[in-house]
């Protein structure tokens, strides 16, 4: 478990997991490693470890709705990361896989959620989640709103608190290095206040149209991923 808040992983959403894998190979020059299924939300993913001095357990998640699964989370509750949002689904169908969000690990998710709530920001209830892996059951606690919204157009991170095992611990090196992540949003002062409250005071924030921008070193050379609002 981390002792301070830091980047945990970046989220790339795809219409299908196959499209996400093909995008990753074409865009970043690597094939993502195995992931798993999330029965609670009816999603599945593929993962890649990222080298980062600031966030030593950072990784990239490619996630999509699993067409073969029905969420066990009861309706009308929505999937995480806005994956049920019609506008996001339309963008993924028209533009292909794209960076949509990021997740921050915190040592005490209940306390971090309460600090956001004190600012009038409802990050969502903390729920327990898990998925099977070859080495055992992976467990974590994560903040997910009932409506599935990411908030601040994806610039405010979802919060996660891992159990005894972090998935990056068993991921091989991928050849990808995360060189930076910046956040832009018209409500930059409020976003800055929220990040400070959860211990992410070092994150760069600019008052511009909403977007996340991540810079990587890859086998294909430098690459930049930028989200759309």
CATH entry 3.20.20.100 includes domain 6-226: no
Confirm if 116 and 180 have CB atoms less than 8 A apart: no
Predicted local distance difference test score (pLDDT) of residue 4: 83
Predicted local distance difference test score (pLDDT) of residue 130: 86
Confirm if 158 and 148 have CB atoms less than 8 A apart: no
CA angle 221, 184, 2 (to 5 degrees): 75
Predicted local distance difference test score (pLDDT) of residue 1: 47
User: pLDDT truncated to tens, each residue of the chain (229 aa)?
Assistant: 455 899 999 999 999 999 999 999 999 999 999 999 999 999 999 999 999 998 999 999 999 999 999 999 998 999 999 999 999 999 999 999 999 999 999 999 999 999 999 999 999 999 998 888 887 889 999 999 999 999 999 999 999 999 988 999 999 999 999 999 999 999 999 999 999 999 999 898 999 999 999 999 999 999 999 997 6
Predicted local distance difference test score (pLDDT) of residue 88: 97
Predicted local distance difference test score (pLDDT) of residue 3: 57
Tell me the C-alpha distance between 182 and 200, whole Å: 12
188-197 and 109-118 helices cross at what angle (nearest 10)?
A: 140
Predicted local distance difference test score (pLDDT) of residue 39: 92
């Amino acid at each position: 478990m981390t002792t301070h808040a830091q980047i945990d992983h970046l989220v790339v959403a795809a219409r299908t997991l196959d499209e996400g894998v093909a995008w990753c190979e074409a865009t970043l020059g690597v094939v993502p490693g195995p992931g798993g299924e999330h029965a609670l939300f009816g999603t599945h993913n593929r993962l890649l470890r990222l080298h980062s001095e600031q966030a030593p357990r950072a990784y990239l998640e490619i996630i999509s709705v699993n067409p073969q699964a029905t969420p066990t989370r009861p309706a009308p509750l929505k999937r995480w990361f806005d994956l049920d949002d019609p506008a996001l689904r339309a963008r993924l169908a028209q533009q292909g896989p794209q960076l949509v969000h990021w997740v921050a690990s915190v040592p005490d998710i209940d306390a971090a959620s309460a600090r956001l709530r004190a600012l009038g920001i409802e990050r969502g209830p903390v729920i327990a989640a898990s998925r099977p892996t070859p080495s055992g059951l992976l467990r974590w606690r994560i903040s997910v709103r009932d409506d599935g919204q990411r908030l601040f157009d994806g610039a405010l991170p979802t919060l996660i608190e891992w159990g005894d095992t972090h998935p990056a611990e068993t991921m091989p090196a991928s050849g990808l290095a995360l060189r930076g992540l910046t956040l832009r949003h018209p409500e930059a002062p409020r976003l800055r206040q929220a990040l400070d409250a959860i211990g992410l005071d070092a994150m760069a924030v600019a008052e511009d149209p909403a977007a996340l921008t991540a810079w990587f070193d890859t086998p294909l050379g430098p690459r930049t991923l930028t989200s759309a609002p």
